[in-house]
Amino acid sequence: MRESGGDTSFQRQQERRRSFPHAIEPNVVGCADGIEILVAHLIKEKHHRVVSIWGMGGLGKITLAKQVYNHDGVRCHFDCFAWVCISQQCHGREVLEELLNQLSSTNEERQEIVILNEDEIARRLCTKQRERKCLVVLDDIWTCNVWNSLQAGFPMNEETESRILLTTRNKEVAYCADENGFIYQPLSLNEDESWELFEKITMFQMEDTRIISFHLTLEFVWNNEMSNHTADSRIYYPEIYAKKKDLGMKMLRHCEGLPLTITVLGGLLSRKDSVNEWDMVHMNFYSYIRRGTDLGPEYE
């Protein structure tokens, strides 16, 4: 049995990993092709029961899944939706119960679920997917054993218009779920896309009130309504921008096109105004990234 301190630590880790489909990232780069491909396979391809997004951590799987889940075409095509983030210590009944709760349309249905055993929950979940067009997202399945603990809740060998969108770091999981399913692997961002994402986070950050456009000339102008804002008005001149871009490009080479790493780096540098502060991060890049120094809880 795990000690209570360990339980608390593990729970905190799981809470940080938890994903919410409505929490859309404000800065999305390099996803357009993937969104188009995945949406097409979900709503047009009839022979793919499971559509999987596979790739290493930090590659942007969850970001892509959220974009697809909230896509207008997807929202119009399916009748009901469910999204569950799977923990490494997955409890099958809890996941199936949560899915059935999200797909149920009345409070009476939800109240009944509490007293059902796992087999009955799985049966009702299957029935719900046969009767309606459901999109179920299983986010971050780590092993085939986890999938095996859940598959009783899905009508895998039957004709149904319901679909599963699955994200995983393990390609074998995608094959376990559906050997005939569609598997999509996002690519790392190229140099231009990496800079675009980085710049959006570090240069185009939004304050509590509206900011007027910030262009590559890098003259950043606050409008009149900002005169009473507590933050100091700042003007970025081209020479400062050039120095920051040089440092930024050097640091981005270490990010290897991983959106999560770029986002962490950008979140850190967005809080640092001077070139000297950027240079300090550059000189201690790995230390800052690994420790999460000065980062908010969303980047830990």
Instruction: Kindly state the average pLDDT of the residues 209-216.
Output: 34
Q: Distance (Å, rounded) from C-alpha 54 to C-alpha 174?
A: 8
Output the pLDDT for position 203: 75
What is the Cα–Cα distance from 289 to 284, expressed in whole angstroms?
A: 9
Which listed CATH number (3.40.50.300, 3.40.50.1100, 3.40.50.2000, 3.30.365.10) goes with 4-184?
3.40.50.300
Instruction: Tell me phi and psi for residue 154, to 5 degrees.
Output: -130, 130
Tokens (6 digits) for 169: 């770091």
CA distance 39 to 73: 8
Say which range, 82-86, 143-147, 234-238, 243-247, has the weakest mean pLDDT: 234-238
Rounded Cα distance between 197 and 219, Å, is: 19
- What is the rounded distance in angstroms from the CA atom of residue 103 to the CA atom of residue 127? 11
Q: Is the CB of residue 41 less than 8 Å from the CB of residue 174?
A: no
pLDDT of 12 over the 50 cut: no
Better-predicted residue by pLDDT, 15 or 53: 53
CA 157 to chain centroid, in Å, comes to 29
Question: In angstroms, rounded to a whole number, what is the distance separating the alpha carbons of residues 265 and 249?
Answer: 12
In this prediction, residue 193 carries a pLDDT of: 95
Q: DSSP assignment of 193-252, as one string? A: HHHHHHHHHHTS---SS------TT------GGGTT-SSPP----HHHHHHHHHHHHHHH
58-108 pLDDT per residue, tens = 899 999 999 999 999 999 999 999 999 986 667 888 999 999 999 987 888
* Whole-number percent of the chain with pLDDT over 70: 76
Contact residues for 215 (Cβ-Cβ < 8 A; gap 6+): none
First-residue to last-residue Cα distance in the chain: 27
CA nearest neighbour of 207 among 225, 229, 224, 238: 229
How is the chain split into domains, by residue range?
Answer: 4-184, 191-299
Please give the single-letter amino acid code of residue 129: Q
Whether 267 and 201 have beta carbons less than 8 Å apart is answered as yes
> Which range among 43-47, 187-191, 239-243, 277-281 shows the weakest confidence by mean pLDDT?
43-47
